């Protein structure tokens, strides 16, 4: 894992800091079970992270690792539910809110798709839950082209060589040996980097003694910043988060995409910038 991925993975041991996001796709009819399964078998090959799980480093000496899971069970990751009558948007959002609040099994790949049947007008929906360490929201939408069609009875995608999900798993001796080797290598590289920086700093001070004063000032500034952070006793700086709980309710706000793009261009930003600014406002 990268440092950012490892941070998200570690922080969410506090359920308030979950790194899961969910996307709801409305389908004009209930998907064919076997066809959806074939597409998901293809997706876990095209997108390797969908068949990988997180394995802690040996002795926690290094960031966690992504390793192929030999026991990927598509029937566990792809589920079906029926929403209560009348199957309107509110019913879909209520089910999706419950699903999105469920934490992932940390011993499995970090994604889960749920098909919701019973929508009004013969439609269906799919709730796609993906951990942020796999991709972000935009990446999740791009990834969806592997398992969503934009037209009825679309042709099957070109065949690819499917990877056996029973190979290369982390459970055997080879997996343990690789984990230990990676962890030890990470510690060695980190220590070597620290030693190199110490040597460079020592040489720099010897050549430029005047740097001692600036280094002392930096150390004092850092210590002061840490103390200021520790002194913050309120639960949050924003009044919006003082009553934070684990309850979730989803709502939908619809905006014309073309107008949003024009606003983003006029203001020198992206559609995402407009979205974030609007939510913050």
Active site residues: 132
C-alpha 39/C-alpha 49 separation (Å) is 16
In sequence order, which residues have a C-beta less than 8 Å from that of residue 227 and are 6 or more positions away? Answer: none
Enter the tokens of residue 279. 């939510």
- Would you tell me how many other CB atoms lie within 10 Å of the CB of residue 264? 17
**Size of the chain, expressed as the number of residues it contains:** 281
DSSP states of 17-53? G--EEEEEEEESSPPPHHHHHHHHHHHHHHSGGGGEE
Count the helix, strand and coil residues of the chain and give each as a percent rounded to the nearest 5.
Answer: 50, 15, 35
Sequence-distant (6+) residues with CB within 8 A of 117 are: 30, 80, 81, 82, 83, 124
Q: Which two tokens stand for residue 130?
A: 């993906």
Compute how many other C-beta atoms are within 10 angstroms of the C-beta atom of residue 268: 7
Rounded CA-CA distance 113/102 in Å is 12
- CA atoms within 13 A of residue 76's CA, in its CB half-sphere: 12
Closest CA to 180 of 281, 276, 56, 85: 56
Phi-psi region of 87 (alpha: psi -120 to 50; beta: other; left: phi over 0): left
């Amino acid at each position: 894992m990268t440092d950012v991925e490892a941070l998200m993975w570690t922080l969410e041991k506090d359920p308030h800091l979950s790194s899961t996001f969910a996307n709801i796709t409305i389908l004009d009819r209930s998907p064919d079970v076997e066809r959806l399964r074939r597409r998901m078998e293809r997706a876990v090959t095209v997108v390797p992270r969908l068949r990988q799980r997180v394995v802690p480093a040996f002795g926690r000496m290094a960031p966690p690792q992504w390793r192929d899971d030999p026991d990927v069970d598509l029937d566990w990751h792809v589920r079906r539910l029926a929403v209560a009558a009348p199957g309107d948007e509110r019913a879909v959002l209520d089910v999706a809110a419950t699903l999105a609040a469920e934490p992932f099994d940390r011993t499995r790949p970090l994604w889960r798709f749920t098909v919701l049947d019973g929508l009004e007008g013969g439609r269906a929906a799919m709730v796609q839950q993906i951990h942020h360490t796999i991709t972000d929201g935009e990446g999740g939408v791009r990834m969806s082209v592997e398992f969503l069609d934009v037209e009825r009875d679309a042709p099957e995608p070109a065949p690819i060589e499917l990877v056996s999900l029973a190979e290369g798993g982390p459970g055997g001796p080879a997996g343990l040996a690789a984990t230990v080797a990676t962890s030890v290598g990470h510690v060695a590289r980190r220590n070597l980097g620290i030693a190199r920086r110490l040597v460079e700093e020592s040489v720099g001070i010897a050549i430029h003694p005047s740097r001692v004063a600036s280094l002392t000032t930096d150390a004092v500034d850092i210590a002061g910043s840490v103390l200021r952070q520790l002194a913050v006793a309120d639960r949050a700086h924003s009044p919006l988060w003082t009553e934070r709980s684990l309850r979730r309710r989803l709502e939908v706000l619809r905006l014309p995409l073309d107008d949003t793009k024009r606003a983003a261009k006029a203001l020198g930003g992206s559609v995402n910038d407009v979205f974030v600014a609007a939510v913050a406002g």
